Amino acid sequence: MNGVVIHPTAVVDPGAKLGMGVTIGPYAVIGERVEVGDQTQILHHATISGFTRIGRECKIFPFSSLGTDPQDVTFKGEPTTVEIGDHNIIREFNTINRGTVKGGGVTRIGSHNYFMAYVHVAHDCQIGSRVIMTNGATLAGHVVVEDAAVVGAFSSVHQFVRIGKHAYIGGYSIVLQDILPFARVSQKRESFSLYGPNSIGMMRSGFSRATIESVKEVFRTIFHTDLNTSQAVQRITEEMGDQEEARAIVDFIAKSKRGILKKFVTDE
């Protein structure tokens, strides 16, 4: 069957759709409405249920649970979904819940992401591509994580929070407000603060020094002037509106519903 390999102890519903070269390990459980893309590996004791679609060349590690019902008391068994892209690595004991009707009905994850052990992605989250979530990171419902962001170990992100692209969140953080694109934030004891642009992460992603300096200038305008947020956005638009990264930050602020984190320290 298209090179599919299913261990004799695995339980695979006949209604599941498996692509070419899929492998299913011992004691894995695959539900009736699950779709798995070509060359994806599902290791032993993983469970995939509900209306769940997984792309090609992913690797699902033991004891992960994907596509289960959302942890939402208003959920009434509606046919909501989980959509996972290509080339994702989902390590041990991950839990990814499907969406709710009130939240759009889809928990969506892009491609080339790395989710380390014990990560939780709640209902209706929207995660981009090249995101890293480290051990024990937890997203509440309706969270948005944009491309290439990093969520540190044992960090918890509040419902409806948005994390901008290339942002870095240090371990053990409690995130209650939106985090700007390219920002570097961390929590020490009871203080959660922004430490400036994620310059090292940007360099690793191939951004030029000039681009990094322009992002630093945007941050200076927002955090190190007497301007309020609206005034800072206006100045950035007037002076740097032709720069892609500046526009990304301005657009992010415009869409913020929970407000952006503004507690700033000059250094760690």
Which residues are identified as catalytic? 123-124, 141
Percentage of residues of the chain with pLDDT beyond 90: 90
Above 80 in pLDDT, residue 212?
yes
Looking at the chain, the whole-number percentage of residues with pLDDT higher than 70 is 97
User: How far, in Å, CA of 185 to CA of 68, rounded?
Assistant: 31
Cα–Cα distance measured from residue 217 to residue 197, given in angstroms and rounded to the nearest whole number: 10
Going by pLDDT thresholds of 50, 70 and 90, the confidence category of residue 265 is: low
| Average pLDDT over all residues of the chain | 95
Cα-flanking dihedrals φ and ψ of residue 121, to 5°? -120, 115
pLDDT in tens, 48-107: 999 999 999 999 999 999 999 999 999 999 999 999 999 999 999 999 999 999 999 999
Which residues are 6's β-sheet partners? 24
Q: Confidence class of residue 266 from pLDDT cuts 50, 70 and 90?
A: low
CB contact burial 212-238 (16+ within 10 A = b; e otherwise):
bebbebbbebbbeeeeeeeebbeebee
Q: What pLDDT sits at residue 38?
A: 98
The tens digit of pLDDT for each residue in 29-42 reads 999 999 999 999 99
185-202: burial string, b at 16+ Cβ within 10 Å, e else: bbbeeeebbbbbbbbebb
Token readout for 259 is 């407000």
User: What pLDDT score was predicted for residue 263?
Assistant: 75
Using alpha carbons, select from 83, 181, 185 the residue that is nearest to residue 125: 83
Burial of residue 126, with CB atoms counted within 10 A of its CB: 0-12 exposed, 13-18 middle, 19 or more buried: buried
Residues 162-201 have pLDDT tens digits of: 999 999 999 999 999 999 999 999 987 667 788 899 999 9
Q: What is the CATH T-level fold of the domain 5-142, as seen in this structure?
A: UDP N-Acetylglucosamine Acyltransferase; domain 1 (2.160.10)
Whether the predicted pLDDT of 268 surpasses 50: no
**For residue 117, how many other CB atoms are within 10 A of its CB?**
17
